[in-house]
Amino acid sequence: ENEKAINCLNKIKQLPEETYNLLKLVGKVGDSLDKKVYVVGGFVRDLLLKRENYDVDIVVEGDGVLFAEELNQKLQGKLLVHEAFGTASIRLEKNNVIDIVSARREYYEYPAALPKVEKSSIWNDLFRRDFTINCMAIQLNTESFGKLIDYFDGLQDMKHRRIRVLYNLSFIEDPTRIFRAIRFAARMDFTIENETKNFMMEAIRDHMIEKVSDDRIREEISPMLEDENFIKYILSMQAFNLFEAIDPDLVLTKESIKKLSSIQSAIDAFREFFSIIPSVRRIIITGIFRDFPMDRLHDVLTKFVANKQLATNIYHTLENKENIYQLLTKEDVDRFTLYRVLNQHDLEDLIFYYNDCEDGYIKHYIMYYMLHLKNIKLSMSGEDLINLNIKPGPIYKKVLESVLKAKVSGEIYNKDDEINYAYDLYQELKGEENV
C-alpha cells in the first residue's frame, strides 16, 4: 500500500470551527466503535484546493448505519437510513448534510496459485471512484487525525492540475464520468490528462453516451449551463463531439458556436432593462438547438430540460424565429407592428433573437422596442368605458385595441388622452352603425 505520510491537519484547522469540530467528532465516534473512519472524495479535493465544500462524505470501515446512529446521538440531526445500501445521511440544522457509507467489503478474487492480495476496504472504496483527485481520503480517528490517504497519486495530479482516471475502463463502466471530466476540468481550470482523454474519446466513439439516460445527461449538463463560464464547458463538449454523441442531429456549426459565445455580451447589452433576471440557461439551450430539426426538437429537448413549460417556450422561440426576422428585416416597420410582434415574447426570446440575428435592422428594432415600447400599457380599462355610458359588448375590445394602438404609435400619452380618444372613437363607430 502506497500510503503517504502527509498530514492535512493544518488545512483542516483552517476550516470553519463547526466543520473542524464535526470532523473531530466523527473520528471520536470511530474510535469508540473501534472502526477506521475517513472523510473522502470532493470534500478532500476541495480542502486541498482551498475551495469551500459543505458536503461531508464519510466512509467507515465497518457498519455505516450503526456508525451513523451513534454519530447522530451526538449531533441530534435528522437521520435518514438506506438500510439496503448500508448508507445513511444526517441533515444538520443549517441544511448541511453528512453522508455516511460503509467501505465496500468486496475483495477481488485472484486465482489460488497467486498470492492473495488483500486490500483494505478504504482502498476498495477509493478505487471505485472516478478521478485521482476525487480518490483521496483523510483519516479522522483521533490517533491518525488528518492523515492523507492517497493511493492513486491524486495529490500529484492536483499539483499538475490534471484530471486522470484510475483505469482504462472507467468511462465504459460509468459514462457519466465523461461529463464529469469536462465539468471538473473547466470548473477548476485543470486539463484532462492525455491517456484519460484517449479513453474518453474511445468511449464516446463506442457510443457509450447512448447508454446514459436522459435524466442523467440533464443532471450532468445542468450545472455546466448554470456556470457563468458556460461557454468553456460548451467548447469542451464540442471538442469531444459530445453534442453529436447526445444526438446525431445536434450538430453545432461554427456559426452556432459564435452565437453561443456572444450570449453573455447580448445579455449585458440588455442589462439596464432588467426588472426580472432572465434565465441564461434558457437562452443557452435555445442557442444549442438553433439549427435542430423542429420535428424532433421536443423529444431531444428532454435531455436538456425537465420542465415541460420551459421546453415549450424554447420550442416556440425557435418556431417563431424566421417569421420574426422576416417581419423585422425592413426599413419601415411602424411602432405598432413592432409592439404587436415583440410584445408576445419573453425577455429571453428577445435576447436570443437580438443575439442570433445577423441583420442590423432587427437588432435596432429589438432595442428600440425595449427602450420605447415594451412598457407601454393602457392606463384606462373597461371600467372607464362603463363610466362613459358605453354598453358592454364586443365593441369594448375594439375600442381598447384602437386606444392602445394610438398610444403605442405616440398619438396619445396619458389616461385622459386615452379616455377622450375612446370617447371620440365610440362616437365615430356609433355614427357608422347608424348609417
The site for ligand CTP (CB under 6 A) is made up of 41-42, 55, 129-130, 134, 174, 176-177, 180
Cβ contact 90:68 at 8 Å = yes
Burial class (CB in 10 A: 0-12, 13-18, 19+), 59: buried
Output DSSP code: residue 370: I
For ligand CTP, which is the closer residue by CB, 72 or 176? 176
Indicate left, alpha or beta for 123 from its phi (over 0: left) and psi (-120 to 50: alpha).
alpha
Q: Please say which residue, 19 or 313, places its beta carbon nearer to ligand CTP.
A: 19
How deeply is 393 buried, as exposed, middle or buried, from its count of CB atoms within 10 A (0-12, 13-18, 19+)? exposed
Closest approach, Cβ 136 to ligand CTP, in A, equals 9
Nearest to ligand CTP of 125, 384 (CB atom): 125
Q: Distance (Å, rounded) from C-alpha 176 to C-alpha 130?
A: 10
C-alpha span between 206 and 198 (Å, rounded) = 12
- The residue among 55 and 210 lying less far from ligand CTP, judged by its C-beta, is 55
Compute the least distance from the CB of residue 398 to ligand CTP, in Å. Answer: 57
Q: Report the C-alpha gap between 137 and 40 in whole angstroms.
A: 4
Residue nearest to ligand CTP (CB): 42
Residue closer to ligand CTP (CB basis): 157 or 174? 174
CA distance 185 to 134: 13
Q: Phi/psi of residue 88, each to 5°?
A: -150, 160
Q: Shortest distance, CB of residue 134 to ligand CTP, whole angstroms?
A: 3
- Residue 23: CB minimum distance to ligand CTP, A: 16
Length of the chain: 435
- The answer to whether the CB of 58 falls within 8 A of the CB of 98 is yes
> Least Å distance between CB 329 and ligand CTP?
44
Q: How far is the CB of 197 from ligand CTP (least distance, A)?
A: 18
Give least dist CB 252 to ligand CTP, A: 24
Classify 367 in phi/psi space as left (phi over 0), alpha (psi -120 to 50) or beta. Answer: alpha
Residue nearer to ligand CTP on the CB measure, 89 or 176: 176
DSSP tag of 248: T
Q: Which is nearer to ligand CTP, 49 or 231 (CB)?
A: 49
Minimum distance between the CB of residue 218 and ligand CTP, rounded to whole angstroms?
Answer: 14
Beta-carbon contacts of residue 146 (< 8 Å; ≥ 6 apart):
7, 8, 9, 12, 138, 139
Tell me whether residue 220 or residue 356 sits nearer to ligand CTP (CB atom). 220
> C-alpha angle 113/172/306, rounded to 5°?
145
Residue 162 CB, shortest distance to ligand CTP, in Å, is 16
Name the residue nearer to ligand CTP (CB basis): 130 or 349.
Answer: 130
